[in-house]
Amino acid sequence: MLSFALTIAFTLVGAAFALSFLRLLKGPDATDRILALDTLYINAIALLVLLGIHLASPLYFEAALLIALMGFVGTVALAKFLLRGDIIE
């Protein structure tokens, strides 16, 4: 039962990836693209967690944690650049 649920979950998260990527391509403004990137990295965390359950391996959490940290820093830097025209003042 769990493997069946995991198959459906992989499909849904993959579709979520595709929709976020389409928004990243479409825009129309820079803020939309930053938001799409933010969603893409959260989707990547979801996919890594699912992969960890599927392979019954706890190795993937470090990767998920790193993506969470770096993605947040990236989003804040890009938003700050749009807001002030500079990242570190």
Give the single-character DSSP code of 1: -
Note whether 32 binds other proteins by CB under 8 A.
yes
For residue 28, cis peptide bond before it (omega within 30 degrees of 0): yes
Q: In this chain, which of 8, 86, 88, 89 binds other proteins, going by CB under 8 A?
A: 8
Note whether 72 binds other proteins by CB under 8 A.
yes
Query: What is the distance between the alpha carbons of residues 7 and 46, in angstroms, rounded to a whole number?
Result: 14
Tokens (6 digits) for 44: 């990547």
| Of 59, 34, 39, residue with least CA distance to 49 | 59
Residue 57 Cβ vs other proteins, minimum distance, rounded to whole Å? 10
Length of the chain as a residue count: 89
> Residues in the site for other proteins, rule: CB under 8 A?
1-2, 4-6, 8-10, 12-13, 15-17, 19-20, 22-23, 29-32, 34-36, 38-39, 42-43, 45-46, 49-50, 52-53, 56, 58, 61, 64-65, 68-69, 72, 75-76, 79-80, 82-83
